[in-house]
Amino acid sequence: MEENAETAGQQCPMCHEKTLVLNERDTEIPYFGRVYLFSMTCSSCKFHKADIEAAEQKEPSKYTFEISGEEDMKVRVVRSSEGTIKLPHIAAIEPGAAAQGFVTNIEGVLNRVKYQIETLRDTAEDDEDKTKAKNLLKKLTKIMWGQEKQKIIIEDPSGNSAIVSDRAVKEKLKGK
């Protein structure tokens, strides 16, 4: 059973207009459990923040998954704002003040990384940096097409992130 709650007309923390809409949704993610999805969006300045929280307390966790084919693009990924997603030798999506929680799939994660690398390529002043970015983009494309294997790792001290697959290896996250 899904439940939604929406509160409109709240004061935006950025532009201070009363045009912020708060959303809270509770839903079930197969093999992960019940979660709360939170978001706030301002219609004036377009400020947006989202997060996800498991309904039951979870222990700090680390998930490792090897992307080995096009079918793996569909594997569900849950990331809280405290989760770190690592693609070794390519990039990482780190937690921080502006971090967003999201539910997507591996293809969605790779597209986020691709967008970051394209931005770096387009703003790089140094030819070496542009070449590095182009090579990373080629590697990402090969991974997405199932021509190259790649590990994806999610570490989350809150335990609110996961890679939802029988092939994902879950370990307890060791303290930092």
Range of the domain at 138: 58-176
Whether the pLDDT of residue 176 is over 60: the answer is no
| Last residue of one domain, picked from the residues 56, 81, 99 | 56
Tokens 């070794």 found at: 88
pTM of the predicted structure, to 2 decimals:
0.79
Whether the pLDDT of residue 175 is over 80: the answer is no
| Last residue of one domain, picked from the residues 28, 56, 84 | 56
Which amino acid, 101?
A: G
Which two structure tokens, joined as six digits, stand for 160? 């609110």
Based on the domain organization, do 65 and 8 belong to the same domain?
A: no
Whether the pLDDT of residue 2 is over 80: the answer is no
Query: Helices 127-144 and 106-123 meet at what angle, rounded to 10?
Result: 160
Assign 3 a pLDDT band (cuts: 50, 70, 90): confident
Based on the domain organization, do 6 and 71 belong to the same domain?
A: no
Return the H-helix or E-strand segment holding 59: none
Based on the domain organization, do 109 and 129 belong to the same domain?
A: yes
In the chain, the number of structural domains is 2
Tokens 């390529």 found at: 121
Whether the pLDDT of residue 1 is over 60: the answer is no
Based on the domain organization, do 38 and 84 belong to the same domain?
A: no
Based on the domain organization, do 74 and 93 belong to the same domain?
A: yes
97 or 65, which is more confident: 65
pLDDT of res. 58: 85
Based on the domain organization, do 165 and 94 belong to the same domain?
A: yes
For residues 143 and 120, what is the distance between their CA atoms, to the nearest angstrom?
A: 20
Question: What distance separates the 2 farthest-apart alpha carbons in the chain?
Answer: 53
